[in-house]
Chains A and B, each alone.
Chain A
Amino acid sequence: MIMNTNLFKYCLRLGDNSLILGHRLAEYCSYGPYLEEDISITNTSLDLIGQAEAILKYAALVENAERTADDLAYRRPEIEFYNVQLVEQPNGNFAHLIARQFFIDAFNFYLYSALKESTDNTIASIAAKSLKEVTYHLRRSSEWVIRLGDGTSESKIKMQEAINDFWLYTFEMFEMDEVDEELITKAITVDLKPIQDLWNKKVDEILVMATLTRPEDGYMATGSRKGYHSEHLGYILAEMQYLPRAYPTAKW
């Protein structure tokens, strides 16, 4: 089998988004505002890591180079990760965690709704499975944006700040390059422009309900499609990959 490089890269994008965000959420374990919410955060993390495993397994199959999903997660350097920079941003306070989650949940919801119809059966089935979980994620993060935005004067300030702080990382989700071009012609993936329109509509709707203001578009982060990241990804990988790199033959 000759590897389809673009399909491989595309799988890494999807898988890395879930893996890195899943890791970030796991870091928040025991820091939730109360017990039930703490459990929600780690359960969301678990869903994301499960989704990452499914898609990275497929990436390994597509690559056909005797690398496993674990090798892809734990042995790749930073420059070969293709997650958007939004998901690697530090947890910050609870409003930051929710803003980051809301932005990516809304993106994942519309993306997976479309990928369900992919001509690639594996991607379609993983998207259909993930969509069921992401639907819950989006509902939860939307409710929190509204609750904090339309809450106390203090929570409103914090929620607005978090939305403002992460706004520059939201454009990257919709960037397209030659990978998308090829896969769109094969109907394996979809044009991200209509996804962006749906995302904008959803974000506006929730921000209005939350009595928050949509930030002005300014400088927008870019680079992750080529493996360029913020400084934070290196620290995540240092921690996440330490054990398999230090003890290469370690087994569960």
Chain B
Amino acid sequence: MVVAEKTYKHIWKLFEQIPDPEIPVLSILDLGIVRRITSEDDTIVITITPTYSGCPAMNLFEEDIIAKLKENNIMNVRVEMTYDPPWTTAWITDKARKGLEDYGIAPPVRGSQDKGELFKEGVKNVRCPLCKSTNTKVISQFGSTACKALYKCEDCLEPFDYFKCI
């Protein structure tokens, strides 16, 4: 059986309804986790990639994807994991960047894909998602999850999560 083009489009649409388990204002598409949808005979193969190797949300992504497709009568589904190419914060959409900030997480500073950035003392110009000041400092390289660092705003004094560039 050949899977019709419109089925793929339908599946991509359905994925917009699956929230990210850690940042529910985003869908699983917004972070660029879903890399491709293909098929083998009559099985739909969804390829996903982790943000971080140890991302504990990966099993949940798989379950959510299978459940969502079952709800929509798409039964033969397999979820595969790839590390190539490795996930990068550059894949986060503009909509998602806005969503992150509204949710209280500073989005990754643009143009920091160069790994040289990582060796400077924390990323500069991280904007406080609450008062929008850039007078902020890093408290810890790791925040509430591996993909985030903990920052503090020197103006409004609130601590906040920063989504690290990788």
Contacts and interface: CB of A to CB of B under 8 A. Distances in A.
A in complex with B: yes
Interface of A: 36-37, 39-40, 43-44, 46-51, 53-54, 121, 124-126, 128-130, 132-133, 135-136, 139-140
A139 B144 CA distance: 18
Interface of B: 50, 52-56, 82-87, 115, 118-119, 139-146, 150, 164, 166
A128 B86 contact: yes
Given A51-B54, A139-B141, A125 B83 contact: yes
A46 B146 contact: yes
B50 A50 contact: yes
A132 B84 contact: no
A231 to B, nearest CB: 28
Contacts of A136: 118, 141-142, 164, 166
7 contacts: A46-B56, A47-B53, A47-B146, A125-B86, A129-B53, A129-B86, A139-B119
Contacts of A53: 53-54
Nearest to B53: A50
Q: Is chain B's interface secondary structure helix, strand, loop, or mixed overall?
A: loop
Nearest to A58: B83
A77 B83 CA distance: 29
A39 B83 contact: no
Given A53-B53, A121-B84, A40 B142 contact: yes
Contacts of B166: 132-133, 136
Contacts of B118: 135-136, 139
A51 B55 CA distance: 10
A46 B84 contact: no
Contacts of A43: 142, 145-146
Contact of A46 (B54, B140, B150): B54
Given A53-B54, A129-B86, A136-B141, 6 more contacts: A37-B140, A40-B142, A46-B54, A47-B53, A124-B84, A136-B142
